[in-house]
Amino acid sequence: MSVVIRPAREEDAPQAQAVMNEAKTLPMLGGFVMLEQLKTGFTKGNGEKGIHNIVAEVDGEILGVSQISPHDYHIEMGLVAVHEDHRQKGYGSSMYFGHVLRAALEGRLFLLDQVAHFNEVMRYKYMPALDFHMELLQRNKIRNWCSLAYYRYDLLNKGLQPWIERFNKTGFEIQVEDHDYYKQKFAENRDELLRQGREEDAKKIGDNMVQAKEFLGLLG
């Protein structure tokens, strides 16, 4: 079996939409995901500021999709879904790892995830397993009935090693491209930390970036 975690392409959108619009997934996502909206996100953002999408491709079939949106110092996790017949196999956490690698390449300080209060599997199983810790609970955030819990992974201080060790146990392949935008964003974040006198933090994001490139075979 071949499992590849990679950036999404426009032609992936119909299969990704089918995964997201499964009956058991819809309540977690808050409603139907529209194909044209998904296509727009899949044709931009992978190498620039904007929505970034990763898919889990298993023997040529898209069985998982995960989205993020970058901010100044962090990456915010968006929609994530895995086909209901293929869960508990590491596809979701491996897609998260793809986003963590991008965050390291860009010199981001942390990752933030929003989880609906009723999604107990994410809140009490996956977030702790991935070392995301709850920072805030906003009650009645969506439509006056859905509360959101905010979880944070401290990439600056915890680094990549725990993610690399987990991923190496899967036997999957991962692809993250080395875009010029990533280099530009890293330089901006490093320079801002230095401007603030945070030399140690600037060194930490440099170490994370080098480790990400080394893991991906992008050094040299």
Token pair of 156, please?
Answer: 């600056």
Does residue 210 lie in a domain region? no
Residue 66 belongs to a domain:
yes
Q: Give the pLDDT confidence score for residue 27 in this predicted structure.
A: 53
Half-sphere exposure of 69 (CA within 13 A, CB side): 5
Query: Residue 26: which CATH number?
Result: 3.40.630.30
Total domains present in the chain: 1
Spatial CB neighbours of 85, under 8 Å, sequence gap ≥ 6: none
What are the φ and ψ backbone dihedral angles of 23, each rounded to 5 degrees? -60, -40
- Please report which confidence band the pLDDT of residue 69 belongs to, taking 50, 70 and 90 as the band edges: confident
| pLDDT value of position 215 | 96
Report the alpha-carbon distance of residue 39 to residue 150 in Å, rounded. 27
- Using the predicted structure, report yes or no on whether residue 122 has a pLDDT greater than 70: yes
| pLDDT tens for each residue of 26-47 | 555 554 455 555 555 555 545 4
Q: Is 184 a member of any domain?
A: no
Q: Compare 116 and 140 and report the one with higher pLDDT.
A: 116
Higher per-residue confidence, 125 vs 24? 125
Is-contact 131 162, C-beta < 8 A?
yes
Query: What's the pLDDT at 72?
Result: 83
pTM for this structure?
A: 0.88
Q: How confident is the model at residue 118 (pLDDT cuts 50, 70, 90)?
A: confident
pLDDT of the residue at 26: 54
DSSP 12-78: GHHHHHHHHTSTTTHHHHTSPPPHHHHHHHHSSSTTSSS-EEEEEEETTEEEEEEEEEE-SSEEEEE
The token duo for 209 is 């970036």
Residue 196: inside a domain: no
Q: What is the DSSP-derived secondary structure letter of residue 95?
A: H
Assigned domain for 7 exists: yes
CB 163 within 8 A of CB 97: yes
Residue 190 lies in a domain: no
Share of the chain above pLDDT 70, in %: 83
Phi, psi of 175 (to 5 degrees): -130, 120
Q: Alpha-carbon distance 107 to 99, whole Å?
A: 12
Q: In angstroms, how far apart are the furthest CA atoms of the chain? A: 52
Which pLDDT value is given to residue 119?
Answer: 83
Pairwise pLDDT comparison (14 vs 37), residue with the higher score: 14
Residue range 188-196: mean pLDDT, rounded: 97
The more confident residue out of 68 and 101 is 101
Mean pLDDT, the chain, integer? 85
Q: Is residue 164 part of a domain?
A: yes
3-state secondary structure of 108: coil
* Per-residue confidence (pLDDT) for residue 28, from 0 to 100: 52
84 lies in which domain range? 3-95+108-173
**218 within domain boundaries:** no
